């Protein structure tokens, strides 16, 4: 239709400043998410250094995202972690606080934060989403952040 002005983000990371925040908990899985995000951004033209911040677990992701967002140095952030139900009775609390906190930081700072937090029932499901059968959610989160960063620039 001719009376619609569509605003879309290009998947081009050139010139952007990006930070990743990665939880150390379930490091075996999270490292693959970090790899997926770095690979995606590099293949989409990122030409500056990536800042990688490591935090103990998913619960700490929002605070680090907030600090990075408030620094004003970044065009986008990707939050990466893996919460696996089998290994904790407080699965639900960690998932809820991490996801709510990341969303709150993103809205308050008006900064795109790719949500690369796996929440799975077991390790096998997490591995599937970290670069095997079900793709790489770190790369997916980087893609979502990039598209949103580019679309926000035009609004």
Catalytic residue annotation: 90
Helix (H) or strand (E) holding 55: strand 51-55
Asked if 80 interacts with ligand INI (CB under 6 A), we say: no
Q: How far is the CB of 90 from ligand INI (least distance, A)?
A: 6
Asked if 88 interacts with ligand INI (CB under 6 A), we say: yes
C-alpha–C-alpha distance, residues 57 and 154, integer Å: 34
Q: Which CB sits closer to ligand INI, 48 or 104?
A: 104
Q: Which of 9, 35, 45, 57 binds ligand INI (CB under 6 A)?
A: 57
Burial classification of residue 97, based on how many CB atoms lie within 10 Å of its CB (0-12 exposed, 13-18 middle, 19 or more buried): middle
User: In which order are the strands placed within the sheet that holds 51-55?
Assistant: 51-55, 18-23, 76-84, 113-120
Asked if 54 interacts with ligand INI (CB under 6 A), we say: no
Q: Measuring CA to CA, how many Å separate 124 from each of 6, 81, 82, 106, 135? A: 40, 15, 12, 30, 13
Q: Which CB sits closer to ligand INI, 88 or 148?
A: 88
Q: How far is the CB of 2 from ligand INI (least distance, A)?
A: 49
Q: How far is the CB of 22 from ligand INI (least distance, A)?
A: 10
Contact positions toward ligand INI, by CB under 6 A? Answer: 23, 25-26, 56-60, 81-84, 87-88, 94
């Amino acid at each position: 239709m001719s009376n619609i002005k569509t605003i879309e983000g290009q998947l081009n990371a050139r010139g952007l400043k990006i930070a990743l925040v990665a939880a150390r908990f379930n490091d075996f899985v999270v490292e693959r998410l970090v790899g997926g995000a770095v690979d995606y951004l590099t293949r989409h033209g990122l030409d500056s250094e990536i800042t990688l911040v490591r935090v103990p677990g998913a619960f700490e992701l929002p605070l680090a995202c907030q600090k990075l967002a408030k620094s004003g140095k970044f065009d986008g952030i990707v939050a990466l972690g893996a919460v696996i139900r089998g290994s904790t009775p407080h699965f639900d609390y960690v998932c809820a606080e991490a996801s709510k906190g990341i969303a709150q930081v993103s809205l308050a700072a008006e900064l795109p934060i790719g949500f690369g937090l796996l929440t799975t029932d077991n390790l096998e499901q997490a591995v599937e989403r970290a670069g095997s059968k079900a793709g790489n959610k770190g790369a997916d989160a980087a893609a979502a952040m990039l598209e949103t960063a580019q679309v926000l620039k035009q609004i």
